[in-house]
Amino acid sequence: MNSISTLFILLGLFLLGGVYSFWKQEMSKSIIVLLAIGSAMSLAAGILRIEGLWT
């Protein structure tokens, strides 16, 4: 696993923590959705980079 894929995965987990925090604070749903989309995209990019290294 290289540093870029690790960075993407850590960023995705950080944003996922933000989603949870904002949900508990009952903030605007649009902000939560944007954070969730960003988190999912970042995690997917990190996982796909790992998959690309294995093939």
Mean pLDDT for the stretch of residues 24-40: 96
pLDDT band at 21 (very low <50, low <70, confident <90, very high): very high
- Average pLDDT of the chain? 91
- Distance from C-alpha of 42 to C-alpha of 49, rounded to nearest angstrom: 11
Burial class (CB in 10 A: 0-12, 13-18, 19+), 34: middle
Is the predicted pLDDT of residue 43 greater than 70, yes or no? yes
Q: pTM score, two decimals?
A: 0.84
